[in-house]
Amino acid sequence: MLARASQRLLEIRQAFRQLPQASRSFSTALNYHIDSPDNNPDLPWEFTDANKEKVKEIISHYPSNYKQSAVIPLLDLAQQQHGGWLPVSAMDHVAKIIEVAPIRVYEVATFYSMFNRTKVGKYHLLVCGTTPCMIRGSREIEDALLKHLGVKRNEVTKDGLFSVGEMECMGCCVNAPMITVADYSNGSEGYTYNYYEDVTPKRVVEIVEALRRGRNHRVAHKIHNASTQDQKEFFAELFIITSGDNVIATKFDLENLALQILGAPRSPQIIAYRERLHTGMQLLLPEIWAS
Amino acid sequence: MGLGQLASRALLRSTRLAASKPHRLLDRRAVVSTPELHNSEAAAVEAPPEPDLPKRTPVAGARVHFPNPDDAIEVFVDGYPVKIPKGMTVLQACEVAGVDIPRFCYHDRLSIAGNCRMCLVEVEKSPKPVASCAMPALPGMKIKTDTPLAKKAREGVMEFLLMNHPLDCPICDQGGECDLQDQSMAFGSDRGRFTEMKRSVVDKNLGPLVKTVMTRCIQCTRCVRFSTEIAGVQDLGMLGRGSGEEIGTYVEKLMTSELSGNVIDICPVGALTSKPFAFKARNWELKGTESIDVTDAVGSNIRIDSRGPEVMRILPRLNEDINEEWISDKTRFFYDGLKRQRLNDPMIRGADGRFKAVSWRDALAVVAEVIHQVRPQEIVGVSGKLSDAESMMALKDFLNKMGSNNIWCEGNGPSPNADLRSGYIMNTSISGLEKADVFLLVGTQPRVEAAMVNARIRKTVRATNAKVGYVGPSANFNYDHEHLGIGPETLTELAEGRHPFYSALSNAKNPAIIIGAGIFGRKDKDAIFSVIETIAKKINAVRPDWNGLNVLLLNAAQAAALDLGLVPESEKSIESAKFIYLMGADDQNVDKLPDDAFVVYQGHHGDRGVYRANVILPASAFTEKEGTYANTEGCAQTTVPAVPTVGDARDDWKIIRALSEVAGVPLPYDTLSGIRSRISTVAPNLLHVDEREAAAFSSAFLRPEVKDKPDKAPFETAVDNFYMTDSITRASKIMAQCSALLSKK
């Protein structure tokens, strides 16, 4: 009787198990390296001149006989510079800078799942998979993203813009579910890490589309996190204006404007701002405004 | 740790404790045999009433050495008081107290990792069980190793370890000598609660020697620590995290260390096993014979595991003074060469140039006839790299009886410093190198010439940041070193105090100069030695309490040959020889030999020496005979026959003894002990087996002055290919694979 019950229990467990793999892996790559044309130890890799200054600055934080302490910030910098992922040659280069054996750097890079050892999209979307977010539907969010982008997990879309991964708790379970967007589109200078809270399967798709068209994080972010309906409408409009590629020059002004608006949540003020914006835009870019 | 041992210990302990509980705290007992504590004062303090507790003996004869008697602290292990020096860990204290704590990650020659958690013990007033390997023992600590809590902790750890372990013992080569297997039988539970899928890990390619089954790995990181700390090649690492963690090299990389085979021994499970030995035998089928290694001049202590007539594998044997518990890959894996290219029968080269197998009687008759036809000064004898002292003695005596004294051992060069022992041995001794603070390596690449000596230097460099200066061709080192120059002129600069490294040498307390035996072959050898001795004098390297002037020999036979006085009479004896007796000498250059010379090759392998031979006399290899060898530090050791010899081969000395009979000049001994008593009249130190006899005088101050200056010619590498140095290793398939894959070109 007992044996049958335990057998049954085992069957139930087996049935509920989602994947045949024993452990979830948050890393984008395997624990060993496979040579490929864009990732092999023979490729040259160097920090850019601007980043070389940063490397010096980072290393200056540590005693000269403990250079190896700089391994994580240096790997992070290398990852930002290399479009969000670390090829083997970049890790070798870091090892050379901090004067340790390459394996000591590989150990660190494989330990931390936020170091990507395979190619990721310019926008790397990380869905929180921890319990509170999972209960609030993070699986659906991931499915929605994967379906919308037509990729598998840790796979990059054909245009190289997006990839979806999983991440551990982001520490904001009160607003679960949430996603993170790591933005590698502007190199290490423009690198940002943005959190989107209270997302829904519909909203994440909108965020993706916003990023795709605007490629501008701050705007997409503001739209999503706007608190009032008026604000939302305003940002949607603002977003449409800024989404064209040829308005880059004015984007920054618009964003500044948007930030001011955030400080003014009441509707009448926003309406005033909208009017100012309309007139301003008409003056600035009449042809876009007309279209 | 044998399983039976564990079980009986567990039983014994419970009965002991049951019998002795009331007296536990009153009893004291001395577990220390160090002289420092045996003075009267300590004895008065100790003065124990005869303990009622049954005595426990320290695990594996563990001894405590008190560098400073004031630092002794007392802890209680299961109620037994035990005195240990400050800084020891709880696990070591338990070992001294006679309790063997189960462990996987802890290894006493590696740094402490504390990640397997198997060594958990209970410590009074500690809220949780503590990992004894990483916990320093504190005064008065009350350690309990067999309480229900400790037992439960061990069972829990074992359950976790076995969770992802494949339990494939029946097909695992480690089966029967596996720590995990033994300890799970002793401490584990009979069932686990894990019902999920076990994880699996991709196997790694670490080269032709180490086979990996990474799914069996329990992440003890012993191999990572070994390769980083002892082998000095930082190739292995711990990759990933959590249950996805695995040992690997990340990028595809073979283990290029000359000590890589030792990871097989230190792996507590079957994750790293011997590739050549895979699925060949079970360890309980093997007969172990404690012998020594002859592939280099270190004389590493080994255990030859054989099954029937076949050597199945070679394992290291502990010898703190020579090889600690490691051996080089060459020592460990050359054994398949013993089965290939062997000479089975006596052979004579016929008129058509082909060898024909003949009987011993005929072969010896031919040799005896020819040796009588040549003039005594035309007879030459060369002993090989692997010759033992007994056969070299016999060869020398035989040729002397024939009127020739032209006999030497290959590798010693035309005029070796055979006058004083200190001129050709490692005077500091191998373990003594650990006391050195500056090394000067002259024309030697210890990594390929004597891997175990190199491991010792590396250990010293790691422990004390000793400086290493190297003079010689560019070479591969696995520790920090300064390449001072490539030729003797650097030595002249050092001798004159002009070189920047000179200040490091002269400021050193215990400088060690190591001269490679490759220099023996140079014409300006005496001049070079004289320059080096000048350096030694200036930096005060030779003192009554420290002799830092060393020669690192290359071959197992060299030291004994020089002890026995195998020194050629003239440098040109080869050119005028009419009869040459090669006793296992394969690397002797015989190009200059006259065409009509008669060559006898006596040896165990059909190697280079056979090409020119007229008569072949098959001899037994070192695994098949008893023979005395002196290593580079002058320590005499003997091999022990592990397997029967092949075909019609005989021991070297027996062949020469028989030949002397046929030639009409019988040698006055016909037993091994007879030869040994003859040796005792020539080199008594060779009979003091396993004891190192230091040289009585230093040659540094007794050498006649050398007028000529050393050449400009740079030093050359003595060993081109670490894996193939003698006839056995050249016949080995595994060594051929190694040299193809691993040798750095």
Q: What is the tens place of the pLDDT at every residue in A134-155?
A: 999 999 999 999 999 999 888 8
Task: Give every CB contact of residue A77 below 8 A, 6+ residues apart in sequence.
Answer: A47, A51, A54, A55, A58, A188
Q: What's the pLDDT score for residue B712?
A: 87
Per-residue pLDDT reduced to its tens digit, A3-57? 787 777 777 666 555 444 434 556 777 888 889 998 999 999 999 999 999 999 9
Answer yes or no: is pLDDT of A248 > 50. no
Q: What is the mean pLDDT of residues B163-188?
A: 92
**Between the CA of residue B397 and those of B374, B401, B564, what are the distances in Å?**
18, 6, 10
pLDDT band with cut points at 50, 70 and 90 for residue B67: confident
Of the listed ranges B56-60, B358-362, B376-380, B625-629, the least confidently predicted one is B56-60
Answer yes or no: is pLDDT of B48 > 50. no
Per-residue pLDDT reduced to its tens digit, B380-437? 999 999 999 999 999 999 999 999 999 999 888 887 888 888 889 999 999 999 999 9
Contact predicate B583/B389, CB 8 Å: no
Gyration radius (Cα) of chain B, Å? 29
pLDDT band with cut points at 50, 70 and 90 for residue A237: low
- The residue of A110, A112, A113, A114 whose CB has the most chain B CBs within 10 angstroms, and thus the best one to mutate to test that interface, is A110
The beta strand positions in B48-145, using DSSP E, are 72-77, 80-85, 120-123, 130-131, 142-144
Q: Quick check: A27 and B244 CB within 8 A?
A: yes
Of the listed ranges A215-224, B425-434, B622-631, B722-731, the least confidently predicted one is A215-224
Q: What's the pLDDT score for residue A221?
A: 61
pLDDT band with cut points at 50, 70 and 90 for residue B347: very high
Q: What's the pLDDT score for residue A291?
A: 40
Q: What is the mean pLDDT of residues A256-270?
A: 56
In 3D, which of A241, A226, A238 has the Cα closest to residue A285?
Answer: A241
Per-residue pLDDT reduced to its tens digit, B298-315? 999 999 999 999 999 999
What integer best gives the mean pLDDT of chain B? 88
β-pair partners for B639: B627
- Name every chain B residue with its beta carbon within 8 A of the beta carbon of A41: 251
First to last CA, chain B: 42
The CA distance from B709 to B489, in Å, is: 10
In 3D, which of B112, B122, B108 has the Cα closest to residue B154?
Answer: B122
The CA distance from B490 to A181, in Å, is: 62
Answer yes or no: is pLDDT of B722 > 50. yes
Q: Record the tokens describing residue A277, joined without a space.
A: 């914006």
Q: Can you give B248-302 as a three-state secondary structure string?
A: ECCCCCCCCCCCCCHHHHHCCCCCEEECCCCCCCCHHHCEEEEEECCCCCCCCEE
Q: What's the pLDDT score for residue A261?
A: 55
Q: What's the pLDDT score for residue B523?
A: 86
Q: Residue B535 half-sphere exposure, CB side, CA atoms within 13 Å? A: 35
Answer yes or no: is pLDDT of A286 > 50. no
Closest CB from A33, A107, A113 relative to B238? A107
- Name every chain A residue with its beta carbon within 8 A of the beta carbon of B196: 13, 17, 22
Reduced to 3 states, what is the DSSP secondary structure of residue B234? Answer: coil
Q: Residue B77 half-sphere exposure, CB side, CA atoms within 13 Å? A: 29
Q: What is the DSSP letter of A52?
A: H
- Name every chain A residue with its beta carbon within 8 A of the beta carbon of B191: none
Q: What's the pLDDT score for residue B275?
A: 95
Q: What's the pLDDT score for residue B649?
A: 95
Q: What are phi and psi of B741, to 5 degrees?
A: -95, -35
Q: What's the pLDDT score for residue B522?
A: 87
- Residues in chain B whose Cβ is within 8 Å of chain A: 164, 195-199, 202, 204, 234-246, 248-252
Contact predicate B340/B733, CB 8 Å: yes
- The residue of B241, B245, B257 whose CB has the most chain A CBs within 10 angstroms, and thus the best one to mutate to test that interface, is B241
Contact predicate B695/B634, CB 8 Å: yes
Closest CB from B197, B244, B252 relative to A31? B244
Closest CB from A22, A88, A111 relative to B241? A111
Q: Quick check: B250 and A110 CB within 8 A?
A: yes
Per-residue pLDDT reduced to its tens digit, A202-219? 888 888 887 887 655 555
In 3D, which of B139, B182, B333 has the Cα closest to residue B268?
Answer: B182
Contact predicate B639/B291, CB 8 Å: yes
Q: What is the mean pLDDT of residues A253-280?
A: 57
Q: Quick check: B250 and A33 CB within 8 A?
A: yes
The CA distance from B650 to B602, in Å, is: 10
Per-residue pLDDT reduced to its tens digit, B641-694? 999 999 999 999 999 999 999 999 999 999 999 999 999 999 999 999 988 888
- Residues in chain A whose Cβ is within 8 Å of chain B: 10, 13, 17, 20-23, 25, 27, 30-33, 35, 41, 88, 100-104, 106-107, 110-113
Identify which has the larger pLDDT, B6 or B84.
Answer: B84
Q: What's the pLDDT score for residue B47?
A: 42
- Name every chain B residue with its beta carbon within 8 A of the beta carbon of A68: none
Closest CB from B202, B238, B251 relative to A41? B251
Answer yes or no: is pLDDT of B79 > 50. yes
Q: What's the pLDDT score for residue B680?
A: 94
Q: Record the tokens describing residue A259, joined without a space.
A: 């930030």
Answer yes or no: is pLDDT of B19 > 90. no
Q: What's the pLDDT score for residue B149?
A: 93
Answer yes or no: is pLDDT of B20 > 70. no
Peptide bond into B166 cis (omega under 30): no
Nearest C-alpha in B relative to A35: B251
- Name every chain B residue with its beta carbon within 8 A of the beta carbon of A21: 197
Calculate what percentage of chain B has a pLDDT beyond 70. 91
Contact predicate B424/B559, CB 8 Å: yes
Residue B328 Cα to chain centre, angstroms: 7
Contact predicate B523/B711, CB 8 Å: yes
Nearest-Cα distance to chain B for A33, in Å, is 5
Cβ neighbourhood burial of B490 (10 Å; 0-12, 13-18, 19+) = buried
Q: What's the pLDDT score for residue A249?
A: 36
- Name every chain A residue with its beta carbon within 8 A of the beta carbon of B225: none
Q: Where are the alpha helices (DSSP H) in chain A?
A: 2-16, 49-59, 71-81, 88-98, 102-111, 131-135, 138-149, 201-214, 217-225, 229-242, 248-262, 267-284, 286-290
Q: What's the pLDDT score for residue A260?
A: 57
pLDDT band with cut points at 50, 70 and 90 for residue B267: very high
β-pair partners for B287: B306
The CA distance from A28 to A120, in Å, is: 8
- Name every chain B residue with its beta carbon within 8 A of the beta carbon of A75: none
Q: What is the mean pLDDT of residues B4-27?
A: 46
Q: Crossing angle of helices A49-59/A88-98, nearest 10°?
A: 50
Calculate what percentage of chain A has a pLDDT beyond 70. 66
Q: What is the mean pLDDT of residues A181-204?
A: 84
The CA distance from B207 to B255, in Å, is: 6
Answer yes or no: is pLDDT of B512 > 80. yes
Answer yes or no: is pLDDT of B3 > 90. no
pLDDT band with cut points at 50, 70 and 90 for residue A257: low
Nearest-Cα distance to chain A for B107, in Å, is 21
Q: Record the tokens describing residue B231, joined without a space.
A: 């082998």
Identify which has the larger pLDDT, B45 or B692.
Answer: B692
The CA distance from B367 to B616, in Å, is: 10
Per-residue pLDDT reduced to its tens digit, B225-243? 999 999 999 999 999 988 8
- The residue of B164, B202, B238, B239 whose CB has the most chain A CBs within 10 angstroms, and thus the best one to mutate to test that interface, is B239
Q: What's the pLDDT score for residue B513?
A: 95
Q: Which amino acid is at B662?
A: V
Q: What is the mean pLDDT of residues B364-369?
A: 95
The CA distance from B173 to A209, in Å, is: 57
Nearest-Cα distance to chain B for A288, in Å, is 51
- The residue of B251, B254, B478 whose CB has the most chain A CBs within 10 angstroms, and thus the best one to mutate to test that interface, is B251
The CA distance from B282 to B352, in Å, is: 48
**Between the CA of residue B516 and those of A52, B449, B549, B700, what are the distances in Å?**
45, 9, 11, 16
Answer yes or no: is pLDDT of A250 > 60. no
Closest CB from A22, A31, A103 relative to B198? A22
Instruction: Please report the ipTM that was assigned to this predicted complex.
Output: 0.85
Reduced to 3 states, what is the DSSP secondary structure of residue B378? Answer: helix
Query: Which domains does chain A carry?
Result: 22-111 (1.10.10), 120-213 (3.40.30.10), 226-291 (no CATH)
Q: What is the mean pLDDT of residues B275-283?
A: 94
pLDDT band with cut points at 50, 70 and 90 for residue A279: low
Q: Quick check: B202 and A32 CB within 8 A?
A: yes
The CA distance from B682 to B245, in Å, is: 61
- Name every chain A residue with its beta carbon within 8 A of the beta carbon of B248: 31-32
Cβ neighbourhood burial of B685 (10 Å; 0-12, 13-18, 19+) = buried
Answer yes or no: is pLDDT of A186 > 70. yes
Closest CB from B204, B250, B252 relative to A103? B250
Q: What is the mean pLDDT of residues B122-149?
A: 92
Cβ neighbourhood burial of B364 (10 Å; 0-12, 13-18, 19+) = buried
Q: What's the pLDDT score for residue B574?
A: 86
Q: What is the mean pLDDT of residues B557-579?
A: 89
Of the listed ranges A88-97, B21-30, B99-108, the least confidently predicted one is B21-30
Query: For residue A72, how many other CB atoms are within 10 A of its CB?
Result: 16
In 3D, which of B480, B545, B477 has the Cα closest to residue B509?
Answer: B545
The beta strand positions in B362-418, using DSSP E, are 379-383, 407-409
